[in-house]
Structure 1
Amino acid sequence: MNMKLNDAVEEQYHNKRVFLTVVVGIAIYLAFVWLSSSRDPSESWGILSLLPTMLVLIIAIVSRRPFESMIAGCVAGLVMLNPFDLVSPFADNISAVLGNETIIWIVLVCGLMGGLIQLLEVSGCLDGFSEWLKRIIKSRRQSLLATFALGVVVFIDDYLNCLAVSTSVKKLTDTYGVSREKLAYIVDSTAAPMCVIVPISTWAVYFSGLLEENGVAADGAGMSLYISSIPFMAYAWFALLIVFLVAYGIIGDWGPMKRAEKRAKEGNPVPEDFIDEQLVSNVKAKRTLSFKANIFNFAFPMILLIVSTIYFEVDLLRGALLTCFVTVLVYWAQGILSFETQVESIFTGFKVMLYPLSTVIGGFFLKAINDELGMTMYVIDAISPHMTIIIFPAVIFAVMAFLTFATSSSWGLYVLAMPIVFPVAAALGVSTPLVIGALLSASSFGSHACFFSDSSLLAAQGAGCSPMQHAFTQFPYAMLGAVLSVATFLGLGFMMA
C-alpha cells in the first residue's frame, strides 16, 4: 500500500515538473520571439547578444545538465535571429560544427584516448599500476600530492593530462577517502595551466602560430615571443600554487567541496547521484600477468604516447593513433587480449566518451550562434574606448576570461580577439608579452572554470563525477585565482604607467 502511495506521489511530482518545464519553455520562447520582432534588423544586438549565454548558465545551474542547457541556449539564439525558421538553421549550424576540423580532431583524440584507457582497464594493467602506487603512497596527503605531481609531469596536452592522470590515480585516492570532485579539481587545475606555461605543449604551438598569423610576431619568432610572456601568465601560476596548497592541506575545503570531502571521508568517494559508467566491459584478460609485467604494460603505452606526441610536432592525434596501434600489437603478442577483444574495447572507449564529446560539440554550436549575434565583438568594442595603460591588462584578462567562460572557446575565441586587442595595446603602449600573458591567463581560466569546456568535461569524466558536480566544487578555487590575477595585472599596469 505504501509503495503504491509513494509511486502515485512520485508520478504526481513528475507530472508537475513536466508541466512547469513546458510552461517555462513556452514563456522563454515567446520572450525571445518578442525580442526578435521588436528589434530593427539594421541594428546590432548589443547587450542582448549575451542573453543566450545567460540562459545556458541559468538552466545548467538549475538542471545540472550541461549539454541540454547549451542546446536550449542555441535554440534561443536561433529564435532571436529568426523565430519562424529554426529547423534549417539548426541543421546547418550543427552540420558546420560537426564538419569543423577542430571538432573532428577532438572527437578522434578523445575517442582514441578512451579506447586506450579501456585497453589498460581490460588488460588489468591499470589495476597493476594502482597497486604499485598503493605500495609507495602511504597517506591521504601523499595521494593528493602524487596526483598533482603527475599532472605537472604530463604537460604535453590538457586532454592527455585530464584523462590519463585521473584514470591512473582514482583507485588510489578512493583508498584514502578523497572525493572524486577533489580529484577532478586537482587534475583540471594542473592541466591547462601546465600546458600554458610549458612551451612544449599543444597550447604553446597553437598560440605561437596565432601570434605570427596576426603579425604580432615575425615568421618563426612566435615561440620566442610566447616564451617571453610566460612570467606574465598570472592565472596559470596562481592556479598551480592554489592547487598545491589544497593538495598539501594548507588551503582547506570550501563550500560544495567541503560537503563532497565529508561524504568521501565517510566512505563514499563517488557522488551518490552519479551513475558511474565503467570503462571495463565484461571481457577480462586471457592471462594474468606478473606485477612487473603489469607495470611495464601500463608504463610503456603512457611513455610512448608522450614521446610520440612530441615526435609528431606536439600532435596528440598522431601520438594517440600510434600508441593504440602499438599497444594492440604488444598485448596481442603477449596473449593478454585477442585482436577482436581489443578492437571491441577501443570502440567501447569511444562510446564512453560520447557524452563529454556531445557537450563539447554543443559548446562549439553555442559559440557559432554567439558569433552570429556579435557577442564577442560587442563586449570588446564596448570596453576599448575606456582603456588606459594601467587598467588595460587587468580588464583584458577579466573580459576575455568571462567570454571564454561563457563560450568555452579557449582557443577559437582568440582568433577574433587578437586583431582588436593588440592594436589597442600598441596605441596605449602596453608591453606585448604582458598582453599575451593576460590573454593566455584568460584562456586557461576559461578552460579551467567553464563547466562545459573540453578539459573540465574530460577531467570530470576521468575522475568519475558529473560535469556540474566538478564545476560547483572547483569554482571557488578558480575564482580565487582569478581575483589574484586581476590584482596582479593591475599592479603590473601601474608599474608600466
Structure 2
Amino acid sequence: MVEGIVAGPWSVVPALVAIALAWYTRDALIGLFVGIVVTSVLLGALHPQTVGVPPDLITAGGEVATVQPQAENASSWTTGVGGIGLGALFGLKLVPEIIATAPLFGEWYVKNVLLAIFAIGGMIGLMIRAGAIQGVLEALASRVDSADDAEKAAFLAGIAVHIDDYFNCLVVGSMMRPLTDRFDVSRAKLAYYVDSAGSPASRLAFYSTWGAAMVGFIGSGLVEAQKQGSLPSGMSNFVDAGGEQVTAATGAVWPLFFNTLFTGFYSWAALALAALVAWQVVPNLYEMGTEESRARETGEVVGEDADPMISEEMDEYEVSETATPDWRNFAWPILTMVVVGLSAMFWRASPVIYVEGRQRMGTTLVQLGGWRLVAPPSGPWAFNIGGVQLGIASIAALIVAFLLYRWKGDIPSNDDATDAMMVGFKGILLAAVILMFASSIQNAVSLLGISSFVTNVFGGVPAFVVPVGVFLVTSAVSFSDGSSWSTYGIMFPIAIPLAFSTGANLPLVLGAVFSGGIFGDHTSPISDTTVLASSTSGSDHMVHVRSQAPYALIAAGIAAALFLVLGFVVPEGFRIIPY
C-alpha cells in the first residue's frame, strides 16, 4: 500500500500537469496518465525509502529537504540530491499501484459503476439494433411540420435519450440529422441541442452511470476529510474506518448526491436555456444567428468553408431488418432499471434506516423484519437509506431488453443480439477508461495531501464565497482538461474538506463542483462529448464550439449568481433531503 505524504505546494503539480497536457494534446487521457506518473515520481523523490532506495543513498549529495509523512507515528527523513534522483526513478514502479488502489476498483465501485457502465452500453446497443431508440425519435418526428418543430424534436430527443452522455451524442445526432436537414435547421443548431442534452441531462439522471460514479467521487472527498480530521462528528457514519484503510460508506452517501440534484444549477440553467431556444423564446445569438440565417435562406445547413465531422460508428450500425421501431421498446428496459434501482433502496436487506434525534437515547424505536428505526443519543434529525443498486438495476434492464427484443423478433438471432451488445460495449469503453484514470488521479493527488494544502491556504476565506469560488475554479479546470469526470477526481478531495473547514453549505459546494465539471464538459473544444456532438450532427467542430459558447456562458453566469447569493443566505446546516 502506497503511504501518503504531506507534499505541500508539490501536491498541486500533478493536477496542473494533467490539466496543461490535456489542453495541449487535446486528449484528457494523456493528461491524466502523465499526472499519475508525475505523482509516482514525486512520491519516490520525497519518500525514497518506500520505493526501495538503499538507506545509505538516501542522503547522498547533501542535505536537501525534509518531508513529513501523514502517519502520526512516522518519523521525518532527510534526502539528498542522489536520494531524490533515485527516488524519482524508482517511484515509477508506483504507477500500477496508484491505479490498482484507486477507489474505482473497490468492491462497491466494481458492482455499481464498472458493471453498470458496460451493462448500460450493451443495453443501448440492443436498443439501436431493435429500433427502440428509432421508435422514440419517430414518435417525436411524427409531429414535425416545420423548422421550429424540428428544433423542438431535437431537444426533446436529447432529453428522452439521456441515460449516458456518450450514447446521447452518438444516437441523437445521427438519428435527428436527416430530420433537421429536411427543414433547413443548421448543423450547428442541432449540435447545440445534442450537446446541451448530453452531460447536463445525464448529470441529473441518478439511475444512470453518472449517479453511481458521482456517489463514488463524493465518497472519496469525505474519506479525505476524515483523514484530515475535518469530517464533522455527526457525519462519521459516512465513512468506514474499521479496516486497514478508510473507505466511504456508499449507502449513506446517496442522500448527499440527491441534494445535488437541486443544487446542480448549471445543468438546470443549460437545459432551460436550450428549451427556450428550441421554443423560439430566446433568439439565435451571434454566430448561431449567422448559421441559422444561412440555412433558412439558402438551404445550406453547413457553411462553404466548414469541415463537417460525421461519425461513422452509428451510421455503419443499422437497425435490424426485422425490427419494428416502437418507443415502448425503449420505455420498458428504462422503467425496469428505475424500478429495480429504487426498489433496492427499500429492500429489507439494505443498510439500516435510522433517525437521529437530540433528546432520545440510542435505542431501537421500531423494528419490523429487517427494518430498524433507531434514535442515537444526539445530533440533528436525519433520515438515511441504502443507495441505488445500479449494478443490479442495469443488469436487470439488459436482461429485459434482450428477452423482449428476441421474443418480439426485433433482433432475429442470439448472435445478432450478441453483436449488438458488443457494439454497445465498444461505445461505452471510452467512458470506462476515462473513469479509471479519473479515479486514479483522485487517488494520486490524495496521496500527496493536496486537500490539506488547499484547505490550509484557503481555509480562512468567508464561507459564502466558497460555493461560487469552487464553481469558477472547477469550471476552469474542466474547460482546460475537457473532462468532467477527471475534474471531479481532482476537485472533490479539495472541495469537501474546504467546505467543512470554512463552514460553507455542503450541498451548495457539491453542486458547485458538479456544475463546474459539466460546464467544461459542455463547452471545451477538447471535451469528448463536445467532439461527439459535432461529429454525429455533422457540424464543423469549431463552429459548434463558437456558436454554443454564448448560451453556455449565460447558463454559467446564472449558476454563478445563484451560488453567490445562496452561499450568502443559506446556512451551513441547510439541506433539502436530510442526511
TM-score, normalization: structure 2? Answer: 0.60
2:552 pairs with 1:478: yes
Question: Any idea what the Cα deviations from partners look like across 1:336-379, whole Å, max 9, x if unmatched?
Answer: 31112111221122123334443443433444444445445444
* Distance across 2 between alignment mates of 1:379 and 1:368: 16
Contact 2:270 2:555 in 1 (8 A): yes
Matched, 1:344 2:419: yes
- What's the counterpart of residue 67 of structure 1? 29
Mapped to 2, the partners of 1:332 and 1:412 lie a distance apart of 40
Counterparts in 2 of 1:432 and 1:78: CA distance versus 1, 3 Å: closer
Whether contact under 8 Å (1:155, 1:194) holds in the other structure is yes
Residues 165, 310 of structure 1: alpha-carbon distance in 2 compared, 3 angstrom cutoff:
farther
Pairing partner for 2:122 from 105, 115, 133: 115
Deviations 1:189-237 (A, max 9, x none): 3455556668888649939985998556697997777777766543333
Match status 1:266 vs 2:300: yes
In 1, Cα distance between equivalents of 2:163 and 2:415: 31
- Aligned partner of 1:326 among 393, 397, 400: 400
TM-fit CA distance, 1:325? 1.7
Aligned-residue RMSD, C-alpha: 4.9
- Secondary structure in structure 2 of the residue aligned to 1:138: coil
Counterpart of 2:10 in structure 1: which amino acid? W
Q: Offset of 1:466 from its aligned partner?
A: 10
Please list, as runs of the form range in 1=range in 2, the aligned pairs for 1:179-328 lying within 5 A after superposition: 182-183=189-190, 185-190=192-197, 193=200, 203=211, 206=215, 215=232, 233-249=264-280, 250-253=282-285, 266-267=300-301, 272=307, 274=309, 276-279=311-314, 285=320, 287=322, 289=324, 294-313=326-345, 314-328=388-402
Name the residue aligned to 1:6.
none
Residue 90 (str. 1) matches residue 125 (str. 2): no
d(CA) in 2 for partners of 1:469, 1:70: 27
SS of 1:382's equivalent in the other structure is helix
Contact 1:393-1:490 at 8 Å conserved across structures: yes
Verify the 8 A CA contact 1:140 1:173 in the aligned structure 2: yes
Contact 2:121 2:421 in 1 (8 A): yes
How far off its partner does 1:137 sit? 1.9
How many angstroms does 1:303 deviate by? 4.0
For residues 36-64 of structure 1, what are the alpha-carbon distances to aligned partners after superposition, in whole Å with 9 as ceiling and x for unaligned?
Answer: xxxxx97641654543134224323xxx4
Residue 436 of structure 2 corresponds to which residue in structure 1? 361
**8 Å contact from structure 1 (residues 212, 222) kept in 2:** no
Q: Tell me if the contact between 1:188 and 1:448 (Cα under 8 Å) persists in the aligned partners.
A: yes
**CA spacing shift, 1:110–1:255, aligned 2, 3 Å:** farther
- Contact in 2 for aligned 1:110/1:159 (Cα 8 Å): no
Larger mean CA deviation between 462-471 and 309-318 belongs to 462-471
Distance 1:235 1:70 in 2: 25
Q: Which whole-Å CA distance do the structure 2 matches of 1:59 and 1:369 have between them?
A: 21
Aligned to 1:408: 484
- How many aligned residue pairs are there? 447
Counterpart CA distance in 2 for 1:284 and 1:198 is 26
Cα displacement (A) at 1:456: 6.3
Tell me the percent identity: 25
Post-superposition offset of 1:321: 1.8
CA–CA separation in structure 1 for the residues paired with 2:106 and 2:534: 25
Structure 1 position 424 matched with structure 2 position 501: yes
Whether the 8 Å contact between 1:45 and 1:374 is mirrored in structure 2 is no
Quick one: which of 395, 398, 405 aligns to 2:469? 395
Higher helix share: 1
1:19 is matched with: none
User: What are the within-5 Å matches in structure 2 for residues 139-218 of structure 1?
Assistant: 139-152=146-159, 169=176, 171-178=178-185, 182-183=189-190, 185-190=192-197, 193=200, 203=211, 206=215, 215=232
Query: Is this contact kept in 1: 2:277–2:283, CA < 8 A?
Result: yes
1:453–1:81 Cα change, 3 Å: farther
Q: Structure 1 residues 72 and 172 mapped into 2: Cα distance closer, same or farther (>3 Å)?
A: farther
- Contact preservation (8 Å) 1:70, 1:362: yes
> What's the TM-score once normalised by structure 1's chain length?
0.68
| Alignment gaps of 5+ in structure 2 | 1-5, 45-87, 224-230, 238-250, 346-387, 572-579
Match of 2:21 in 1: 56
Cα distance in 2 for residues equivalent to 1:461 and 1:320: 28
AA at the equivalent of 2:413: S
Q: Give the counterpart letter for 2:467 in structure 1.
A: P
**2:174–2:536 Cα contact (<8 Å) kept:** yes
Largest Rg, 1 or 2: 2
- Residues 466, 59 of structure 1: CA spacing in aligned structure 2 closer, same or farther, 3 A cutoff? farther
Segment drifting more, 137-146 vs 305-314: 305-314
